């Protein structure tokens, strides 16, 4: 049977490590020490899970700290003096500036809202003013001590030397009032006009009285401030009205005196024109009418003078006699034409009579026409004379009005001054009357919404809040502490961390004894847990299964690489559990029928003989010193109670251990025992402190590094790996000892224990 490929009788029952090589190599960051292949989602998930595992692992500490904080928060409030809180609510309204036109009489705006401040914020600041607090103190029977008092920080002599005011002796009542005033808080309720004023005091009666007195005094001061502002405005208006009245009287006198000196006469005080201007306007209208009449008569005269009598139908229509005469003349002419056209001759009597009558009528027509033409000419000449006279009179009036224009301009200037002074006087007189009425009305824009009631229970200390705060503070402080400690811890806690930092495979993970015992108690397996020889005494314990799984990883890895019989077990530091791992792995190998030799090469502090309870008078050190033959070498190897497992103890301790290991006898020994054993496990001291492991490792097939969880530093393990690489020594892998599987959410042993419980503990 091939010793490196045994037919394991219990192969079906072997339980491998929760992190075998395939699992570790498939982690998101495997193969890269610096995590170059991580993506953001995986990294975030790993961080959250890591923090959650930390919290779950220290849950007892966190719960204990939270409970301690709760108790401490409750106990802290017991010796404290109770403080009572009183609250009053005030509504701040806007003034109606349209009432009695108060906006015009008040030069200060009451609603000066802007993007940075509001009326409520202004009132909140006024509610905390020093003057108001001093007035409240006086109302409560104390002195003005809010701002004048100074703490007793030095004696009187030192105070004078430091130029400080003398200390004020305060009564107990005054001290309470000072503390109550200092506790005043004013809050503006958003989107409302309501202010909430809150005070605190150890005297609940004082707290309620102070809040109510503060509200009353604030309302009174608001009314007094508004009344005072109105009074000052009225006084200012009265003084200004006297000046305006005097200026109006002076302006009117100057206007009248100038009018008398200039000889200006105005028909109406409301008119802007004087008598001369009005006369000029009237003469202009008359002249225009005379010119139009003259033009009309001139046109008629020229028309009748140059036209024949028959072309003047308008004259005929106006004079009836002339029209009748013209009609008779026309009839006679028709008769004469008729007679002449007939058989009658011009010498006929009727013809002659008609011609004689025509001559008479024609002479009468001509006389009447001449009279009408003379009348028209006379009318025309009269119109011309009238127009000329009016033109001369108009020009004279124009010259007179032009001479008065400069005087009128000055007069209008003085008149406008009078009107302006009169308007100002009337406006100020009206505002004076309105201000007088507004001053008589005492109103305030602040009203009390909720009066401060006598507090029934203290606001501080609040044991519920203090206990809750203590609980939360203790919990968060403990969570923060354990996370910080965990993050700053440079030791290895999980198997994948070894792969991440060293690229070495994790051959197995051995749970710590305390965790294994706890898990066994949960599964009702109350077997004892010795410090070594676990597989022999506990065939079904978790620790034994872990060592069997680690042995399987060793054998499978050795088969894939090359033939390996001699393995050196060492660690970076003291106390990592290399002796326990070596002995238990040897027992596990012996259980599956292998012939195993355990060599204790820790010549300074040997422990293998104590584990197997055998003498250590002679051993490896004696063999190297005496250079014994092969028969004597084999005689120093002792058999144990476990079949197939032999031990070569360290022998008598010596300080020349390093020199002995350099002896050629060690190489000869290893060559000789390989013919008799399937597996040789050598226990060596920590390699960073002593060179023994490096010396023996150079002669062995491979080295296995033992790492203790939460103890072995990353830098130490990496330094150990680096030295082995420099020595060209094959490092087969690592074994994580003392691992706490409950820190990992992917804990496999829960399922295993559940299986064992269901199977009846088989």
23 and 67 fall within a common domain: no
* Strand order through the sheet with 596-600: 506-511, 731-739, 702-708, 566-571, 679-683, 596-600, 645-648, 638-639
CA distance 74 to 68: 10
DSSP state of 154: S
CA distance 282 to 276: 10
pLDDT, tens digit, for every residue of 163-204?
Answer: 666 656 678 888 888 888 888 999 988 888 888 999 988 888
Q: HSE (CB half, 13 Å, CA atoms) of 156?
A: 4
674 and 530 fall within a common domain: yes
477 and 563 fall within a common domain: no
Residue at which a domain ends, from 451, 484, 517: 484
Q: Going by C-beta distance under 8 Å and a sequence separation of 6 or more, which residues neighbour residue 345?
A: 351
Task: Report the Cα–Cα distance between both ends of the chain, in Å, rounded.
Answer: 30
pLDDT computed for residue 752 by the predictor: 43
597, 644 in Cβ contact below 8 A? no
CA distance 377 to 308: 16
472 and 612 fall within a common domain: no
571 and 627 fall within a common domain: yes
Domain assignment present for 413: no
570 and 643 fall within a common domain: yes
Collapsing DSSP states into helix, strand and coil, what is residue 185?
strand
671 and 745 fall within a common domain: yes
609 and 468 fall within a common domain: no
Domain assignment present for 205: no
HEC letters along 705-726: EEEECCCCEHHHHHHHHHHHHH
**β-pair partners for 648:** 599
Domain assignment present for 284: no
Domain assignment present for 550: yes
pLDDT computed for residue 170 by the predictor: 76
680, 599 in Cβ contact below 8 A? yes
Query: 216: burial class by Cβ within 10 Å (0-12, 13-18, 19+)?
Result: middle
pLDDT computed for residue 33 by the predictor: 40
pLDDT computed for residue 192 by the predictor: 84
DSSP state of 167: P
480 and 624 fall within a common domain: no
In total, how many domains does the chain have?
2
Q: Does residue 461 have a cis bond before it (omega within 30 degrees)? A: yes
543, 511 in Cβ contact below 8 A? yes
507, 732 in Cβ contact below 8 A? yes
pLDDT, tens digit, for every residue of 470-492?
Answer: 889 988 898 888 888 777 777 77
Range of the domain at 468: 59-80+461-484
574 and 619 fall within a common domain: yes
CATH of residue 636 = 3.40.50.300
pLDDT, tens digit, for every residue of 110-158?
Answer: 544 444 456 778 888 888 888 888 888 888 888 765 444 444 444 556 6
DSSP state of 704: E
132, 90 in Cβ contact below 8 A? no
CA distance 751 to 762: 15
Domain assignment present for 430: no
Q: What angle do CA 700, 674, 659 make, to 5 degrees?
A: 45
Domain assignment present for 631: yes
Does this model's pTM top 0.85?
no
pLDDT computed for residue 696 by the predictor: 93
**DSSP class per residue in 278-330:** HHHHHHHHHHHHHHHHHHHHHHHHHHHHHS-GGG-HHHHHH-HHHHHHHHHHH
- Which of the residues in the chain have pLDDT under 70? 1-46, 95-118, 144-160, 162-169, 262-274, 276, 307-320, 341-348, 400-408, 410, 435, 437-443, 460, 513-540, 561-562, 627-628, 630, 653-658, 742-762
CA distance 683 to 702: 13
- Among the listed residues 707, 709, 735, the one whose alpha carbon sits nearest the alpha carbon of residue 508: 735
List b or e across 7-39, with b for residues whose CB sees 16 or more CB atoms inside 10 angstroms: ebeeeeeebbbbbbbebbeeeebeeeeeeeeee
DSSP state of 663: S
pLDDT computed for residue 582 by the predictor: 93
Domain assignment present for 436: no
586 and 735 fall within a common domain: yes
Domain assignment present for 718: yes
CA distance 142 to 383: 107
CA distance 373 to 366: 10
642 and 685 fall within a common domain: yes
Which stretches of 436-505 are assigned E, i.e. beta strand? 446-450
Q: Going by C-beta distance under 8 Å and a sequence separation of 6 or more, which residues neighbour residue 273?
A: 266, 267, 281
CA distance 584 to 547: 7
* 320-326, long-range: CB < 8 A, 24+ apart: 321/368, 322/365, 322/368, 322/369, 322/372, 325/361, 325/364, 325/365, 325/368, 326/365
pLDDT computed for residue 46 by the predictor: 53
pLDDT computed for residue 405 by the predictor: 60
Pairing of strands 185-188, 194-201: antiparallel
DSSP state of 371: H
């Amino acid at each position: 049977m091939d010793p490196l490929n045994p037919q394991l009788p219990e192969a079906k029952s072997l339980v491998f490590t929760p992190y075998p090589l395939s699992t570790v190599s498939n982690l998101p960051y495997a193969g890269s020490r610096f995590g170059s292949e991580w993506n953001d989602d995986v990294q975030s998930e790993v961080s959250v899970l890591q923090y959650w595992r930390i919290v779950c692992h220290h849950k007892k500490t966190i719960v204990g700290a939270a409970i301690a904080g709760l108790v401490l928060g409750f106990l802290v409030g017991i010796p404290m003096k109770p403080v009572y809180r009183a609250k009053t609510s005030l509504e701040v309204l806007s003034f109606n500036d349209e009432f009695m036109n108060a906006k015009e009489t008040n030069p200060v705006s009451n609603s000066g809202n802007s993007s940075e401040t509001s009326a409520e914020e202004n009132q909140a600041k006024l509610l905390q003013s020093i003057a108001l607090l001093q007035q409240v103190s006086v109302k409560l029977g104390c002195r003005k001590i809010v701002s004048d008092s100074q703490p007793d920080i030095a004696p009187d002599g030192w105070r004078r030397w430091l130029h400080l005011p003398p200390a004020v002796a305060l009564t107990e009542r005054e001290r309470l009032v000072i503390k109550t005033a200092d506790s005043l808080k004013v809050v503006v309720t958003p989107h409302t006009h309501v202010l909430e004023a809150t005070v605190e005091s150890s005297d609940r009666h004082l707290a309620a009285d102070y809040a109510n007195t503060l509200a009353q005094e604030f309302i009174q001061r608001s009314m007094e401030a508004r009344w005072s502002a109105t009074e000052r405005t009225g006084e200012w208006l009265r003084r200004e009205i006297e000046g305006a009245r005097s200026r109006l009287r002076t302006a009117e006198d100057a206007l009248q005196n100038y009018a008398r000196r200039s000889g200006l006469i105005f028909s109406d005080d409301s008119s802007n024109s004087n008598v001369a201007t009005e006369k000029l306007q009237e003469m202009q209208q008359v002249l225009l009418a005379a010119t139009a009449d003259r033009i009309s008569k001139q046109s008629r005269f020229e028309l009748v003078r140059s036209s024949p009598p028959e072309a003047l139908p308008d004259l005929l229509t106006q004079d009836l006699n002339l029209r009748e005469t013209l009609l008779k003349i026309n009839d006679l002419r028709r008769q004469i034409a008729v007679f002449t056209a007939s058989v009658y001759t011009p010498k006929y009597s009727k013809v002659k009579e008609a011609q004689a009558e025509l001559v008479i009528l024609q002479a009468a027509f001509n006389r009447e026409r001449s009279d009408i033409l003379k009348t028209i000419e006379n009318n025309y000449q009269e119109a011309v004379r009238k127009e000329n006279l009016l033109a001369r009179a108009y020009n004279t009036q124009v010259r007179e009005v032009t001479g008065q224009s400069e005087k009128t301009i000055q007069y209008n200037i003085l008149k406008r001054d009078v009107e302006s002074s009169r308007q100002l006087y009337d406006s100020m007189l009206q505002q004076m009357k309105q201000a007088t009425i507004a001053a008589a009305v005492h109103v305030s824009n602040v009203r009390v919404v909720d009066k401060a009631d006598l507090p029934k229970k203290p606001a501080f200390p609040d044991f519920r809040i203090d206990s809750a705060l203590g609980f939360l503070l203790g919990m968060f402080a403990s969570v923060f502490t354990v996370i910080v400690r965990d993050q700053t811890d440079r030791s290895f806690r999980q198997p994948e961390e070894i792969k991440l930092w060293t690229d070495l495979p994790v051959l197995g993970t051995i749970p710590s004894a305390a965790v294994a015992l706890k898990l066994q108690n949960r599964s009702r397996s109350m077997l004892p847990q010795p410090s070594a020889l676990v597989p022999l005494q506990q065939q079904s314990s978790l620790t034994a299964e872990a060592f069997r799984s680690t042995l399987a990883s060793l054998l499978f890895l050795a088969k894939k690489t090359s033939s390996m019989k001699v393995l050196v077990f060492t660690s970076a530091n003291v106390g990592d559990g290399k002796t326990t791992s070596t002995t238990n792995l040897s027992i596990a190998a012996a259980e599956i029928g292998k012939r195993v030799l355990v060599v204790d090469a820790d010549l300074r502090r040997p422990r293998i003989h104590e584990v197997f309870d055998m003498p250590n008078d002679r051993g490896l050190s004696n063999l190297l010193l005496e250079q014994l033959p092969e028969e004597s070498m084999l005689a120093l190897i002792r058999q144990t109670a476990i079949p197939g497992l032999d031990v070569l103890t360290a022998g008598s301790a010596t300080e020349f251990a390093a020199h002995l290991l350099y002896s050629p006898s060690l190489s000869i020994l290893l060559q000789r025992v390989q013919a008799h054993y399937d597996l040789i496990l050598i226990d060596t001291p920590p390699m960073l402190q002593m060179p023994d492991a490096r010396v023996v490792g150079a002669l062995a097939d491979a080295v296995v590094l033992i790492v203790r969880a939460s103890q072995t530093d990353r830098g130490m393990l990496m330094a150990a790996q680096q030295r082995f690489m420099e020595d060209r020594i094959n490092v087969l892998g690592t074994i994580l000892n003392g691992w706490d599987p409950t820190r990992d959410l992917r804990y496999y042993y829960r399922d295993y224990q559940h299986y064992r419980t269901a199977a009846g503990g088989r």
